[in-house]
Amino acid sequence: MDPRLRILRMLEEGKITVDEAARLLEALSRSEPYRYGARRFRRDVIDSISQFIESTISLIGDEIRDHLRVYRVGSESKIDTPIKPKVKIKSMAGDVTIKESMQSDRVKVYGYSIYKSVKDDELMIESLEGDIEVELPPVHELYISVIHGSIEGTLLGEHVEAKTLSGDIELELKSITDGELETASGDIIVYVPKDANLTIDAETKAGDLTYDVTGECIEEGPGYLKLKLNRGEHTLKLHTASGDIEIREA
């Protein structure tokens, strides 16, 4: 089993505390020089990871532990369901890939142990393990929460939140009005349209921050950037406790 996943499962089972999990992840990252180089983690980085673990577990834990969903697949299969204004995608262990759907009114999900739940204006998709691929049309609100795995693909939504505890985020954002991308241990690469009407607020606790988009730099410092694109009326927040951030033009 991957050591990061082992740490997270120990946390889920109550065998270690949030702070102990953060310290173990930090020690594991320092043992991987090919990815993190010679960086040494500061106390504020450990604290940031601890806080993010707590917030992520609170978002994803109860629903996945309960397994009380109306649709379950034990072998490779798919979910094909009508779209809702609000879509939530949650994964315990596995990468999440988002692709543009050819249908404007339906969501398709491919994976193994996948579940769905529908109520009022909300569609919930959950995966216990294994990678999942989601074909998604434009949606009003989109929330992606991952414990162990990366998030990648193309997002078409007005409000987007994508968070992973251990993994990279690489996304092309289309028709976004505001959003937040966050990882405790991983890199963030985001592609934004040339005409995006955004103020980008980006921060990395232990990593490099680069950008190649045209805009007005409002504030810049070590590991921090506030960048205004066009009128900058909406906000996109990027945050990683341990990793690099790259902002590119789509």
Tell me the per-residue pLDDT of 181-192, one tens digit each, with 9 for 90 and over.
999 889 999 999
Longest dimension (CA), the chain: 50
Instruction: Note whether 85 and 43 are same-domain residues.
Output: no
Range picked from 74-78, 105-109, 110-114, 125-129 for highest mean pLDDT: 105-109
Instruction: Note whether 49 and 78 are same-domain residues.
Output: no
pLDDT score recorded for residue 82: 94
For residue 55, which of 164, 141, 153 has the smallest C-alpha distance?
164
Instruction: Note whether 225 and 110 are same-domain residues.
Output: yes
- With beta carbons less than 8 A apart as the criterion, state whether 238 and 203 touch: yes
Structural domain count, the chain: 2
pLDDT score recorded for residue 114: 86
Tell me: the pLDDT tens digits for 35-53? Answer: 433 344 455 555 555 565 5
What is the mean predicted confidence (pLDDT) over 226-248?
94
pLDDT score recorded for residue 41: 46
Instruction: Note whether 210 and 141 are same-domain residues.
Output: yes
- With beta carbons less than 8 A apart as the criterion, state whether 226 and 201 touch: yes
Instruction: Note whether 115 and 183 are same-domain residues.
Output: yes
To the nearest 10°, the Cα dihedral for 181, 245, 42, 55? 10
pLDDT score recorded for residue 119: 87
If you search the block for the tokens 């963030």, which residue do you land on? 188
**Residue that finishes a domain, picked among 12, 30, 65:** 65
Instruction: Note whether 197 and 157 are same-domain residues.
Output: yes
Tell me: the pLDDT tens digits for 159-198? Answer: 999 999 889 999 999 877 799 999 988 999 999 998 999 9
Alpha-carbon distance 205 to 116, whole Å?
35
Instruction: Note whether 164 and 221 are same-domain residues.
Output: yes
Question: Residue 234, Cα to own-chain centre: how many angstroms?
Answer: 19
Tell me: the pLDDT tens digits for 76-93? Answer: 678 999 999 999 999 888
44 lies in which domain range?
Answer: 3-65
Report which DSSP code applies to 41: -
The percentage of the chain sitting over the pLDDT mark of 70, rounded to a whole number, equals 72
